[in-house]
């Protein structure tokens, strides 16, 4: 059964949060309503802290980044913490927790543009908070596009293997061409035979799904493979906004792919743009070139600390491929600082998983490019 046999619906919906979301649905038996996919920025205060929540919902599965800083501090002095959260939205009830933990970090009700919740940063602390949808200033006006599909190798066989795919991407219809192209490239999937240069996100995602299923069918032509339960393929592309205001757009893309074998593979990458110029933010924009050796030392030493090693211990003697970890081009910027992400097999074997080494802005004192001063960030040249 080919991709063309699916019923495809293209709907632009005004969500309960006020965010416009483009929905491209290729599931043959999936009903999606206006409350099932959106992203939004919420903010609120307690007596001690101010909070900003970037929340994304894809059919009840939630992912979020929560930023907190002491209430009453000036923006250039605030020490910001970021908490990554995942969770569920069921019948209007939101529950967000830290990955790997069971206890709710945020739990409450979504009422229109407001989340009435209990915030539990620890077992001893529980505070009420109202988080209200608030647009950030100086960011891109993006919408969220989604497409999903499932294809069986032999629809007549109830035990036939199948392939599934789900993709999300951010779109900015009102942005200048340079920004649109950056978002489009970031959303694209790589196929060896892809000679078509798409110029719209919806057609690009449709093409990606079509090529994925064609590739699955082509590589599964053997009768033995076609009957194998281990020939189920899966591909998921999730995007999350880390930051989108005050001159900086930072989006994270997580890809999970399984095409048989012992396990699937994940890859995390970032798109970082200066929203005033539309140009990518590159490492020399943040770190002075003569500071790279010092940054390399700090990354290496911090990874040792994260791994429970001493400063004189060797990384290569403790399961890593290298002894010195240099900054790569896969980094993110958000209010709490700068982080470098090393994907599986980049500097360590699969068992080590994704490796993230992050610094708050104060930890990078003396290394930062003086021209990189963005309002609201913790770093400020004295």
Q: Residue 2 above 90 pLDDT?
A: no
Q: Which of 19-28, 66-75, 128-137, 191-200 has the weakest average pLDDT?
A: 19-28
Which residues, 6+ apart, have CB-to-CB distance to 293 below 8 Å? none
Looking at every residue in the chain, the average pLDDT score rounds to 82
Domain ranges of the chain: 3-31+140-274, 41-133, 286-364
Answer whether 296's CB lies under 8 Å from 211's CB: no
Q: Strand, helix or coil at 25?
A: strand
pLDDT tens-digit series, residues 41-70: 999 999 888 999 999 988 889 999 999 888
In this predicted structure, what is the pLDDT of residue 273? 92
pLDDT tens-digit series, residues 97-124: 999 999 999 999 999 899 999 999 888 8
- Same fold for the domain at 3-31+140-274 and the one at 41-133? no
For the entire predicted model, the pTM comes to 0.82
In angstroms, the CA 205 to CA 79 distance is 39
Class of domain 41-133: mainly beta
Class of domain 286-364: alpha beta
Closest CA to 348 of 293, 310, 307: 307
Domain boundaries 3-31+140-274, corresponding CATH code = 3.30.565.40
Mean pLDDT of 253-267: 91
In this predicted structure, what is the pLDDT of residue 226? 56
> Between these two residues, 154 and 165, which has the higher pLDDT value?
165
């Amino acid at each position: 059964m080919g991709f063309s046999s699916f019923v495809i619906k293209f709907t632009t919906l005004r969500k309960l949060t006020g965010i416009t979301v483009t929905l491209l649905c290729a599931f043959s038996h999936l009903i999606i309503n206006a409350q099932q996919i959106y992203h939004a920025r919420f903010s609120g205060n307690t007596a001690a802290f101010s909070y900003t929540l970037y929340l994304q919902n894809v059919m009840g599965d939630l992912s979020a980044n929560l930023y907190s800083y002491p209430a009453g501090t000036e923006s250039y002095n605030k020490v910001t913490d970021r908490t990554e959260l995942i969770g569920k939205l069921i019948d209007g009830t939101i529950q967000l927790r830290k990955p790997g933990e069971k206890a709710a970090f945020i739990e409450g009700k979504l009422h229109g543009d407001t989340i009435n919740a209990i915030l539990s940063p620890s077992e001893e602390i529980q505070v009420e908070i109202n988080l209200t949808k608030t647009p950030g200033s100086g960011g891109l006006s993006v919408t969220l596009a989604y497409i999903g599909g499932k294809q069986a190798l032999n629809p007549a066989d109830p035990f036939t293997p199948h392939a599934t795919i789900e993709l999300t991407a951010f779109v900015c219809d009102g942005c200048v061409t340079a920004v649109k192209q950056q978002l489009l490239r970031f959303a694209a999937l790589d196929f060896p035979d892809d000679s078509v240069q798409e110029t719209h996100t919806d057609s690009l995602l449709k093409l990606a799904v079509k090529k994925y299923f064609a590739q699955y069918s082509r590589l599964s032509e053997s009768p033995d493979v076609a009957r194998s339960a281990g020939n189920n393929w899966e591909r998921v592309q999730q995007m999350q906004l880390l930051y989108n205001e005050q001159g900086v757009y930072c989006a994270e893309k997580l890809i999970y792919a399984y095409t048989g074998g012992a396990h699937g593979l994940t890859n995390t990458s970032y798109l970082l743009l200066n929203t005033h110029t539309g140009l990518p933010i590159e490492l020399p924009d943040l770190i002075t070139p003569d500071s790279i050796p010092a940054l390399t030392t700090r990354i290496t030493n911090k990874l040792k600390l994260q791994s429970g090693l001493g400063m004189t211990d060797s990384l290569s003697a403790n399961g890593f491929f290298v002894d010195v970890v240099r900054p790569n081009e896969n980094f993110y910027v958000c209010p709490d600082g700068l982080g470098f992400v090393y994907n599986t097999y980049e500097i360590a074997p699969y068992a080590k998983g994704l490796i993230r080494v992050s610094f708050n802005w104060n930890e990078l004192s003396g290394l930062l490019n003086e021209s990189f001063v963005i309002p609201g960030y913790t770093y400020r040249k004295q």
